Amino acid sequence: MSVIDWRSSPLSMKRVIHLALGQTTYARAYALQHALHRMRCQGEIGDILITVEHDPVFTIGRSGSRANIRVSEQERQRAGIPVYEIERGGDVTYHGPGQLVCYPIIDLRDYGRDIKRYIASLEQAMIDLCADWEVSADRRAGYPGVWVGERKIASIGVSVRHWVTQHGLAFNVDVSKEHFAMINPCGLPIEMISLVDLVSAPIPMEDVTQRLLDHMAMIFGWNIVVENPNEYWRKIDD
């Protein structure tokens, strides 16, 4: 059991809805995330967890800069990679196929209003996930995310408004090195690595997703219930 396990609270086994979006554009997932965040703030829905693989995209957080996109506008456009400036923390990152992205939309008033502990819990879930494949990963002081030595395997960038979380984590399973090479990830001169670079056996994305959810459920004390995302798409499309 993790030392940051939340289950010692009376909120054990809190029901959380899981929406698996598959692969979709960043714009569409972003619109859904915003709508669900608003509904959660207004108490219209309970806690929700989105998993998704994005089409290739660069996102820039509040402290970020387009200067950390290393290629020209023409090269970026030829690669077909849009850019979104968003409200999460952090600098520039890449999302694309082969990367598991998870967006928890939860009310931290039910979790002690502790943002640092929340981020540490997301990191712990991914550290535990790496251990499932016998990969030793850890934190790095001052740099949110998960590291394997000097290389980064997962990123975290969150936004919290009215104590409800938005954005979340991105775990590299088998991500394009060429696309990551177009940026300074997180604004740093670092190398990004994928799980497939460290493990010889095939790694199905569905296995990684389920194991991550299992670790998050263990750490946060969640009962994760799968629902059809189409019901929620309709809420924002109507």
Q: Any idea which residues carry the catalytic annotation?
A: 186
Burial of 7 (0-12, 13-18, 19+ CB in 10 A): middle
196-210 burial, b at 16+ Cβ within 10 Å, e below that, comes to bbbeeeebebeebbe
From residue 165, give the alpha-carbon distance in Å to each of 34, 122, 143, 229: 11, 12, 19, 19
From residue 169, give the alpha-carbon distance in Å to each of 49, 72, 187, 225, 236: 11, 27, 17, 20, 23
Residue with tokens 């924002």: 236
Residue (of 219, 231, 221, 223) closest to 45 by Cα position = 231
Residue with tokens 């929340």: 118
Asked if 120 and 4 touch (Cβ cutoff 8 Å), the reply is yes
Cα(18)–Cα(23) distance, rounded to whole angstroms?
A: 15
